[in-house]
């Protein structure tokens, strides 16, 4: 039986690890061809190797999302080798210290958050707009920091900007047949493990804030939610925020 995304092309940034990789694998399981995009080619190759082992198809595309020329080349190569992009997943964000306070954050760090987050998200959305017409789906990534920004102000600001870009795209591009939604994940990822490295007590306290008692799985929890938003099952869903975080934001 064909998957829900058979014949569609999905471009996923940050696909070399964590949330992005989980989304790539889940989308491939439903038949999508995958453009795995990120900065570390070896990780992208590994993602595509697993996609192909499961019978899927894809390409590894090395790209620094903060560089306009590389974004343009990435989109052009994806269309040339796989076909027009119909699913765009913006999962990338520079792995810098997310816990800076407003008085402490350096301008260079703040600007990097914006270049790798909302600026890259907007540019990829615009570059893919024509290909997404007539049934395309955009899935952008938010963060629980948007709801509880203590100690995460600069990071929360960048993620809040992505939320508003998503809503604006839903309104402006709905007549073009393009849907845009936001996911807010809480998953077991390299970034999550870095936050609690060497501090099991803090990790345990973090997990206690999740009503379901665990961090989500990048593929089976987050990836399947992204499949829903990418597929026709959510054909009347746009401009919304889907919380995929086990209820964590209720206990911030």
Match 């999905």 to its residue by tokens: 10
What are 69-112's pLDDT values in tens digits?
A: 999 999 999 999 999 999 999 999 886 666 678 888 999 999 99
Q: Which residues are catalytic?
A: 155
Per-residue exposure over 222-246, b if at least 16 CB sit within 10 Å of its own CB, e if not? bbbbbbbbbbeebeeebeeebbbbb
| Full DSSP string of 42-110 | HHHHHHHHHHHHTT--EEEEE--TT-HHHHHHHHHHHHHHT--EEEEEE-----S-TT--TTT--HHHH
Q: Would you write out the chain's pLDDT as a tens digit for each of its 252 residues?
A: 579 999 999 999 999 999 999 999 999 999 999 999 999 999 999 999 999 999 999 999 999 999 999 999 999 999 999 999 999 999 998 866 666 788 889 999 999 999 999 999 999 999 999 999 999 999 999 998 888 777 788 999 999 999 999 999 999 999 999 999 999 999 887 766 666 666 778 777 777 888 888 889 999 999 999 999 999 999 999 999 999 998 887 765
For CA atoms 16, 179, 27, 48, the dihedral sign is negative
The domains of the chain, with CATH numbers, are 9-240 (3.40.50.720)
What pTM does this model have? 0.94
Rounded percentage of the chain residues whose pLDDT exceeds 90: 73
- Asked whether 133 and 176 are in contact (CB, 8 A), the reply is yes
- Asked whether 216 and 244 are in contact (CB, 8 A), the reply is yes
Give the torsion through C-alpha atoms of 167, 26, 235, 131, to 10 deg.
70
């Amino acid at each position: 039986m064909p998957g829900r995304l058979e014949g569609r092309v999905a471009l996923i940034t940050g696909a070399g690890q964590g949330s992005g990789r989980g989304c790539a694998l889940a989308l491939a399981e439903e038949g999508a061809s995958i453009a795995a995009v990120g900065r570390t080619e070896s990780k992208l190759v590994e993602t595509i190797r697993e996609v192909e082992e499961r019978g899927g198809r894809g390409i590894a595309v090395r790209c620094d999302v903060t560089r306009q020329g590389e974004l343009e080349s990435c989109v052009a190569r994806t269309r040339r080798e796989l076909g027009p992009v119909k699913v765009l997943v913006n999962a990338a964000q520079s792995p810098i210290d997310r816990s800076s306070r407003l008085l402490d954050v350096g301008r260079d760090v703040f600007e990097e958050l914006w270049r790798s987050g909302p600026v890259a998200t907007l540019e990829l959305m615009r570059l893919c707009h024509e290909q997404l017409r007539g049934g395309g789906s955009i899935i952008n990534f938010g963060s629980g920091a948007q709801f509880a920004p203590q100690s995460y102000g600069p990071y929360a600001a960048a993620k809040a900007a992505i939320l508003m870009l998503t809503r604006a795209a839903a309104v402006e591009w709905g007549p073009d047949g393009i849907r845009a939604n936001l996911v807010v994940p809480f998953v077991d990822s390299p970034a999550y493990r870095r936050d609690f490295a060497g501090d099991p007590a803090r990790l345990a306290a973090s997990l206690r804030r999740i009503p379901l008692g665990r961090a989500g799985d990048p593929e089976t929890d987050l990836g399947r939610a992204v499949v829903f938003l990418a597929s026709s099952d959510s054909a009347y869903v746009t401009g919304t925020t889907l919380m995929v975080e086990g209820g964590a934001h209720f206990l911030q």
